[in-house]
């Protein structure tokens, strides 16, 4: 077992077509600012290229202490968070995490609007599918590092696949909810508890 400590550094990774302006990212940022202002918080705008996204994130966390950094990832960000947790041995909270985004996003090649600013456009290129596939971690090596919140009402991803992928980890399985976790506040306490934040 790993003796986890409260994070001194917290990285939030948003999902496909999302941004640091997502409701969950904003809620977490507000909680950290109000209750743990000493914690280093970073929620970068990720580029559509998975390779570029991971390069950007790795550069940003290069000096972070591995034993007291934690990740929160939503959807595609949950996939990225899993990759990083396996690379660096840190704690990760996953919110409806994508399990096989290379497969799922192959159907979304082309131009898209950003969810939180429809005027912003992003292009998901065919080579990005290969970049996602190249990132895939082979296995969850230390399941105690992970906490997955999985909604059976997810209209985008298959909750059974998510629950199966993280079956050895701590999983909070929601009977309803949705992909964006509109009821995120109801689960914030469990997330904070897992992260060892005293409320």
What is the domain-level CATH number for residue 31? Answer: 3.40.50.1820
- Domain contains 3: no
Number of compact structural domains in the chain: 1
Q: Is residue 168 part of a domain?
A: yes
pTM (predicted TM-score):
0.94
Cβ atoms within 10 A of the Cβ of 93, count?
27
Is residue 199 situated within a structural domain? no
Q: Does 4 fall in a domain?
A: no
The pLDDT assigned to 115 comes to 65
Q: Is residue 88 part of a domain?
A: yes
Residue 13 lies in a domain: yes
User: According to the model, what pLDDT value does residue 70 have?
Assistant: 97
Has residue 17 been placed in a domain?
yes
Give the whole-angstrom CA distance, residue 138 versus residue 42.
Answer: 27
Task: Please choose, from the candidates 80, 73, 113, the residue with its C-alpha nearest in 3D space to the C-alpha of residue 94.
Answer: 73
Is there a domain that residue 162 lies in? Answer: yes
Which residue range forms the structural domain that includes residue 69? 9-194
In this prediction, the residues of the chain whose per-residue pLDDT falls under 50 are: 1-3
């Amino acid at each position: 077992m790993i003796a986890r400590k409260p994070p001194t550094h917290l990285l939030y990774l948003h999902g496909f077509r999302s941004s640091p302006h997502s409701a969950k990212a904003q809620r977490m940022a507000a909680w950290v600012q109000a209750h743990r202002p000493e914690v280093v918080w970073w929620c970068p705008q990720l580029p559509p290229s998975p390779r570029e996204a991971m390069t950007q994130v790795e550069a940003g966390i290069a000096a972070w202490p591995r034993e007291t950094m934690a990740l929160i990832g939503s959807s595609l960000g949950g996939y990225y968070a899993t990759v990083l947790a396996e690379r660096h041995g840190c704690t990760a909270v996953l919110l409806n995490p994508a399990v096989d985004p290379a497969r799922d996003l192959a159907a979304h090649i082309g131009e898209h609007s950003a969810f939180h600013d429809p005027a912003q456009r992003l292009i998901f290129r065919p080579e990005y599918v290969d970049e996602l596939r190249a990132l895939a971690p082979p296995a969850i090596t230390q399941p105690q590092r992970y906490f997955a919140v999985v909604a059976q009402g997810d209209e985008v991803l298959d909750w059974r696949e998510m629950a199966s992928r993280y079956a050895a980890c701590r999983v909070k399985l929601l009977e309803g909810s949705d992909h964006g976790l509109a009821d995120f506040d109801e689960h914030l306490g469990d997330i904070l508890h897992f992260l060892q934040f005293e409320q």
